[in-house]
Structures are given as C-alpha cells and as structure tokens.
C-alpha cells in the first residue's frame, strides 16, 4: 500500500529538483487561494494541474504540469511500474531455478525460512528512504528484492497445500472407501476438491485477516505521524512500509518453528539442483502438453488474469493519489477496506460454493467477471466528468466490491491449479503457478509504465485491465479441466527426473 506512494513521491520530487524551473507552489498554501493563479491544484479526476485565473473576468482554467523526467528520460510515475515489472521478470528466473528444491529433502522448509527472512529485512529497510529524495533508486532496488523474496516464499508455502489435502480426514476416508469398493473415483475427486477449496479459502482468509491487522497498525502510525507529530508523508509512508517487514519477521519465526519438515525424497546424486530446476520445468511442460494440454491453457489464462487483478491493486493506489487527490488518511482507509472485505469475501464465496455445489472453476470465473466491474466503471470516466472514478466516494464503493472478489479469486485460482498437480511434484508445479501468478505481473506494470510515459495519465491503463479480466474469464468458462484433473491424480507416473520424456510417458 505505502511503498508505491513513498517511491513515487520521492521520484517526482527528485525529478522536480532536476527541472530548470522551480515547482509552482500549492494553491492551498496561499491565504486567499480563490484568486491565486499559476499555482498547483489537485483536480479530482484529473490530478495535479496548474490553475490559471483570468485577472479581468476571474474565469478559472487549468493546464497540465510540465513533463518531468528522471535520469534516463523516464517519467517519475512510470518508474514505480517499471521497477515492479523488472522485479517480476527476475522472479520468474528465480522461481524456475529454486522451484524444484522443495520436492527434495528438507529444502521445502529451508527455502521458506530463507526467502521469508530476506524479504522481511528488505521491507524493514524502507525506513531509510525518507532521508533524501535522491534515494528513490534504492526504493526501486528494495521493491525488486522484497518482491522476489515474497514470490519465492509463496512457492514453498503453496507446495504444502496438496500434501495437506492428501492428509486430510476427508480425502483419507474417501481413499479407504475406494479401497473397500464402497466409493468410486468420482467420490475421491469430490473429496479432494472439497478439502482443497476449504484449505485454500481458509488460508487466504486468515492471511487477509493478518494483513488487515498489520495494515490497521500502519494506518495508526500514519495518523500519529501526520497529525500528532506533523511529520511529512515521506516519513509516514516509510515507517508504515517498514512495519510490514517487522510484522513479517515477528510472525514468521513462531509459525515456521511449528511447521513440520514434510521432507521429500533425497536429491539426485551428481546433479546440479539449480540447473535441475530448469531441466525439470522443461520436462514438466512437455509432459503436460502431451498428457493434459488443458493444464497449459489454464496456466496461460492464469498468466493474464492474475496479472490483471495484481495490476488493479497497484494502479488503484497511484490513481487514488495522483488523479483523485486522496491524501494519506483517505488512502489509509482505502487500504483497510480491500483486505478486510477480501477476508469476508473469501469466506462468503466458499460458503456459497458449499451451498450451491458449484465447482471451483465456476466460482473463479464469476470472480473474474465481477472484478472486471472496477476497470469498466473507470472507463466510463472517459466520456463524462461526473462519474466513472471521478470522485473518491466511487473508489470506496469499488474497493469493497474489489475486496469481496479478490481474496476469493486468489484462493479458488490456487485451488483449481492444485487439482492439476501430479503427486510428488508440488514444488515444481507451484513454481510454474508462481511464474504465471506473480511471475506474470511484469506485463501489467510494463503496460502501465508505457501508458504513463506516453500520456502522462493513469486512466488509459484501465482499458487493458478490463480486457485482462473479461477475456480470460470467458475462455476459462469454456475450458474443460476434468480430463486434466483425472490425469494428474491417475496412476501414471510423471517421470521428469530421469531420462524419459513426455512421449515416453504418454
């Protein structure tokens, strides 16, 4: 929440310091700003503008601020999107390199410990940035390090899910019933899907509860710093951002201490495990193409729509700040609404699935179509100046809507994917999942950076976000995943450690 605001403010301030003319003063800093001209005023729906007042008629008009550039000619607001995009490209490389480690020995737990600790420490270092606007580049590096570490930690974290599902009483009971001849494959499949969606939804829900709690504390920090201590927004954002790192460290330690090893088989001898990740990933993709091609199609669709809703979150923060003129306290309230309702939405959608008997895929498709409402409503603002994300009140309502669907979409996306995982290759497959989830999130920020660099505005990015929700949702609805799920849970071995290739397995 606070990192994009902090780094964006630093980058814009540094860009102004390089500009040949000084930044005009804010209109609000003058005692009688009604007649003040050539000052900066934030206009809801259009962002910061230079206000011009005709000395004779008193008519007010607005013009855009000068085009500011950082070293290298990059727009300051494009900088944050560019750094996120670069970090995600590095994420994809790291995912493939270390993704297979979790399937061997005790690397599953060890990888979670190392990546979590490194990511948390990177977040703590955001406290350094407010000392100087020239440190905006350090903010970009910390974004990269924390993003990569977070993504790697989630790879190892997610790899526990299929093992927990197989150990659940529901699945074990179904397998025993099948062995006794009382139950069939359909019963085992339904038991796995039920346990999967339950664990995934509850895990996502409690994650958002924890995140919301941390965020509330961060909001308190922002209020105290801004109101009581009269600190600048830089220090408010920096302290709040670093608090997330402290929270991450404080709760990782006891959680990981109680986490069982769940070791995999011994690592192959005379094999470079880091190179093995690339080899296994290549063989895995060939196998999936040969045995269950629809799994690859799902990954491709997930690549697009996960990038879409991740980019919505990032764009919304900067859109609210830059174009809707929302201050630190308003943004803090907005930041609490999304994860709070994401927790509520995750529970509500899971309860709806239990009552209706809908598949995880159907719930996911509905979530995507509902998520498309936010960019669709923003696109209305191209044709009118009264509605269509032109007022802060609209964003509060859409934040509730977005949160109600976001947590559920993430949980059911993971639940659908975990049904497609062959036994013994949880880390491999979730490395692919992270490449298509967080590893895909370079595309939206890169498009956003290009749009902002070209137009100086954030609103046109909403067109891409609308397409990124609607098109994958429609294609996923038409995609038949049941044969792929049966193939993943069948008796055929997935031999991607040896010399067999996909044709041999087929």
Residue 118 CB coordination number (10 Å): 16
In tens, the pLDDT along 23-49 reads 677 787 776 666 777 788 777 777 777
Residue 64 host element (H or E): strand 60-64
Average pLDDT over the chain reads 82
Instruction: Walk me through the domains of the chain, giving residue ranges and CATH numbers.
Output: 2-64 (no CATH), 76-489+500-505 (1.20.1250.20)
Question: Is residue 301 within 8 Å of residue 435, measured between CB atoms?
Answer: no
For residue 140, name the pLDDT band (cuts at 50, 70, 90).
very high
Cβ-proximal residues to 492 (8 Å cutoff; 6+ apart), any chain: 291, 505
The pLDDT of residue 317 is 83
| Average confidence (pLDDT) over 475-480 | 90
The pLDDT of residue 243 is 93
In tens, the pLDDT along 376-422 reads 999 998 888 888 888 889 999 999 999 999 888 988 888 888 788 77
For the question of whether the overall pTM of this predicted structure is more than 0.95, the answer is no
| Average confidence (pLDDT) over 461-474 | 91
In tens, the pLDDT along 290-302 reads 777 788 888 888 8
Q: Which of 302, 307, 311, 304 is nearest to 81 (CA)?
A: 311
For residue 438, name the pLDDT band (cuts at 50, 70, 90).
low
Q: Are strands 47-53 and 60-64 parallel, antiparallel or unpaired?
A: antiparallel
Q: Which residues pair with 52 in a beta bridge?
A: 61
The pLDDT of residue 496 is 46
pLDDT at 472 over 80: yes
Residue 35 CB coordination number (10 Å): 10
Q: Is the dihedral of CA 322, 327, 328, 329 positive or negative?
A: negative
DSSP one-letter code for 410? H
For residue 370, name the pLDDT band (cuts at 50, 70, 90).
very high
For residue 430, name the pLDDT band (cuts at 50, 70, 90).
low
Residue 337 CA to residue 410 CA, distance in Å, equals 17
Of the given ranges (120-129, 130-139, 447-456), which has the lowest mean pLDDT? 447-456
Q: Which of 370, 432, 431, 428 is nearest to 401 (CA)?
A: 370
Q: What share of the chain in percent tops pLDDT 90?
A: 19
pLDDT at 432 over 80: no
How far is C-alpha 430 from the chain's CA centre? 16
Q: Are strands 39-43 and 47-53 parallel, antiparallel or unpaired?
A: antiparallel
The pLDDT of residue 242 is 94
| Average confidence (pLDDT) over 95-123 | 83
Of the given ranges (146-150, 453-457, 488-492), which has the lowest mean pLDDT? 488-492
For residue 441, name the pLDDT band (cuts at 50, 70, 90).
low
In tens, the pLDDT along 207-257 reads 878 888 888 888 888 888 877 777 778 888 899 999 999 999 999 888 888
Q: What share of the chain in percent tops pLDDT 70?
A: 91
The pLDDT of residue 21 is 64
pLDDT at 485 over 90: no
| Average confidence (pLDDT) over 107-121 | 89
For residue 506, name the pLDDT band (cuts at 50, 70, 90).
very low
Question: Is residue 60 within 8 Å of residue 52, measured between CB atoms?
Answer: yes
The pLDDT of residue 503 is 40
pLDDT at 437 over 60: yes
The pLDDT of residue 33 is 66
For residue 129, name the pLDDT band (cuts at 50, 70, 90).
very high
């Amino acid at each position: 929440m606070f990192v994009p605001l902090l780094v964006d403010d630093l980058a814009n301030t540094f860009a102004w310091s390089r500009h040949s003319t000084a930044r005009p003063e804010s209109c609000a800093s003058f005692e009688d700003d009604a007649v003040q001209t050539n000052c900066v005023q934030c206009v809801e729906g259009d962002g910061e503008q230079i206000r011009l007042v005709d000395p004779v008629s008193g008519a007010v008009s607005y013009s855009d601020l000068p085009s500011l550039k950082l070293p290298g000619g990059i727009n300051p607001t494009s900088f944050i999107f560019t750094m996120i995009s670069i970090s995600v490209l590095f994420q994809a490389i790291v995912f493939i390199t270390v993704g297979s480690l979790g399937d061997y020995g005790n690397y599953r737990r060890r990888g979670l410990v190392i990546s979590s600790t490194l990511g948390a420490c990177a977040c703590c270092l955001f406290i350094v940035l407010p000392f100087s606007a020239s440190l905006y580049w350090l903010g970009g590096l910390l974004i990269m390090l924390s993003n990569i570490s977070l993504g790697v930690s989630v790879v190892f974290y997610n790899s526990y899910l299929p093992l927990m599902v197989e150990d659940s009483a529901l699945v074990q009971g179904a397998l025993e019933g099948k062995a006794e001849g009382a139950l069939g494959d359909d019963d085992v499949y339904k038991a796995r899907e039920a346990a999967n969606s339950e664990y995934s939804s509850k895990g996502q829900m409690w994650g958002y509860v924890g995140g919301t709690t941390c965020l509330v504390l961060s909001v308190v920090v922002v209020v105290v710093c801004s109101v009581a201590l009269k600190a600048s927004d830089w220090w408010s954002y920096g302290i709040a951002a670093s608090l997330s790192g402290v929270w991450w460290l404080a709760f990782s330690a006891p959680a990981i201490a109680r986490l069982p090893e769940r070791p995999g088989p011994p690592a192959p001898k005379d094999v470079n495990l880091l190179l093995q990740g690339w080899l296994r990933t290549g063989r895995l993709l060939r196998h999936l193409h040969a045995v269950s091609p629809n799994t690859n199609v799902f990954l491709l669709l997930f690549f697009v729509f996960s990038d879409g809703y991740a980019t919505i979150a990032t764009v919304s923060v900067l859109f609210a700040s830059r174009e809707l003129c929302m201050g630190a306290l308003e943004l803090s309230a907005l930041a609490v609404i999304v994860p709070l309702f994401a927790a509520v939405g995750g529970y509500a959608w899971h309860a709806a699935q239990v009552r209706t008997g809908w598949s995880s895929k159907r719930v996911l498709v509905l979530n995507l179509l509902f998520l498309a409402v936010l960019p669709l409503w923003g696109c209305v603002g191209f044709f009118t100046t009264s509605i269509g994300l032109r007022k802060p009140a609209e964003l509060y309502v859409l934040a509730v809507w977005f949160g109600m669907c976001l947590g559920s979409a993430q949980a059911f996306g993971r639940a659908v994917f975990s049904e497609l995982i062959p036994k013994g290759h949880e880390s491999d497959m979730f490395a692919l999942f992270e490449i298509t989830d967080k590893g895909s999130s370079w595309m939206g920020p890169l498009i956003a950076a290009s749009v902002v660099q070209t137009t100086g505005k954030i609103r046109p990015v909403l067109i891409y976000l609308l397409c990124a929700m609607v098109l994958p949702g429609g294609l996923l609805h038409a995609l038949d995943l049941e044969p792929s799920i049966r193939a993943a849970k069948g008796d055929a071995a997935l031999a991607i450690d040896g010399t067999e290739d996909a044709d041999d397995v087929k």
